[in-house]
Amino acid sequence: MDLTGRAVLITGGKRIGAAVASAFAAGGADVALSYNRSRGDAEQAAAAVEAVGRRAVVSHADLSRPDDCARLVNDSAETLGRLDILVNMASVYARTAYDRLTEQDWDRGLAVDLKASFLCARAAVPHMRAQGGGRIVNFADWTAASGRPRYSGFLPYYVAKRGVIALTEALALELAGDHILVNAVAPGPIRPPDGLDETAVAEVERATPLGRWGGDQEIVKAVLALVETDFMTGETIRIDGGRHLH
């Protein structure tokens, strides 16, 4: 798919999402971004899109709410005049000890990390059909793609991300006849989380066969590849520097 004149919705407009937005804009696409709490980050990402002459729209959405998912997609498509690409990046990632895990933690984790990807895709499909096809890129996780949890305290997150892989496969089959390709990215050590100390950063580097953190552009490359392809669908691409081999 050529990006020129296309319209993209990215759920989550901070950190890596901002780098992905800039790459789409550089390729000639207009970009809609959502945020829940990080309005400033989303607006900064939008400013970078506009700086290269493309349109940007920023919307608040709590993706744990089904109505917000539908509103976000439909408003983005209406504002940009079309919708060709959906990138489901929004995620809840917080360590909670098993004995302190509540039903509310479980529900919110699966609502944002799994259900929202389905709901946003469901809302996006009619707009993509109107354009004769489209691309959906979901975000899983390297641990989920490897088929075993590595870290305790992330039970809802791991279950949701395993579900994202299954969702990607099933959606790819359902939507193939509409020329809507559905794939997923499973990031590994791309950039250290905020507040991670130097010892922990170095420990991850030692555990990664390529010996370093990947950096935002490795995810950008993967997303662009999954948008550009015309014959790959239902795949989950692990971007982890070989971490799963360790």
Instruction: Tell me whether residue 157 is one of the annotated catalytic residues.
Output: yes
Q: The tokens of 236 are what?
A: 């989950």
Block residue for tokens 């798919």 = 1
Edge-to-edge strands of the sheet including 236-239?
A: 56-60, 30-35, 7-11, 85-88, 134-139, 180-187, 236-239
Q: How far apart are CA 145 and CA 165, in angstroms?
A: 7
Tell me which of 14, 35, 115, 157 is the catalytic residue. 157
Q: CB within 8 A of 131, min separation 6: which ones?
A: 82, 83, 84
Instruction: Tell me whether residue 98 is one of the annotated catalytic residues.
Output: no
Tell me which of 14, 35, 158, 161 is the catalytic residue. 161
CA 104 to chain centre: 23
Q: Which residues are catalytic?
A: 157, 161
